[in-house]
Structure formats: structure tokens, C-alpha cells
């Protein structure tokens, strides 16, 4: 279900579009620098230089681990412990 846009957000969006179009018509080179900078940042994010995004080597279990029988995981039956606390003094006010 599409979300409705409020009147204020539509007005702001229209003003942004008008500002970008008028800036592009009056001085297109001033808009070119931010577009190039954001494009370079996006390309560096998508395709990082060097071996930063290398695939991890799959880890194999050693042979000794495979030979050992699997231990069954059982939880210890531990009862809850109650920590005794002091009662509030009736003479003191509850709020400071």
C-alpha cells in the first residue's frame, strides 16, 4: 500500500526540483562538481581498490574433530535463587 505524502513534503520536493533545474540552467558547472564527487564516492564504495573485498576461505573441520563423537548438549537443572532484599521503611517518603 503506497504511503500518502503530506502537502508540506510535496511543496518542499517541488521547490527542490525547481531550484535544481534553475541552477542547472544558470550555471551548469557549479552542479557538475558535486555530481562528480558523489559519483566517485559511489564507485569507490561499489568497487573498493585493492583486495579489501576478498572472499573468505571456507573453514574445514580438522580430522580429529570429525572422529570424535558428538556430545549431547544438556542443560543443567539449576534452581532459581532468591536474593533477600530489605523492605522500604514506612517512615520515609516514597518520592524525594
- What digits encode the pLDDT tens for the residues 72-83? 677 778 788 888
pLDDT score, position 87: 67
pTM over 0.75: no
List the grid coordinates of 64: 580429529
Alpha helices by DSSP H, 1-93: 7-26, 28-46, 63-67
Sign of CA dihedral 18, 20, 21, 25: positive
Q: Cα–Cα–Cα angle for 70, 74, 75, nearest 5°?
A: 150
**What are the domain boundaries of the chain?**
7-46
Residues 6+ apart with CB under 8 A from 94: 88
Amino acid at each position: 500500500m503506497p504511503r500518502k505524502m503530506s502537502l508540506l513534503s510535496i511543496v518542499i520536493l517541488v521547490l527542490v526540483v525547481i531550484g535544481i533545474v534553475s541552477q542547472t540552467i544558470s550555471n551548469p558547472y557549479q552542479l557538475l562538481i558535486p555530481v562528480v564527487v558523489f559519483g566517485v564516492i559511489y564507485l569507490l564504495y561499489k568497487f573498493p581498490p585493492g583486495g579489501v573485498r576478498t572472499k573468505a576461505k571456507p573453514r574445514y573441520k580438522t580430522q580429529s574433530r570429525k572422529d570424535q563423537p558428538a556430545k549431547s548438549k544438556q542443560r543443567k537443572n539449576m534452581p532459581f535463587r532468591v536474593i533477600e532484599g530489605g523492605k522500604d521503611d514506612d517512615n520515609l517518603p516514597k518520592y524525594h
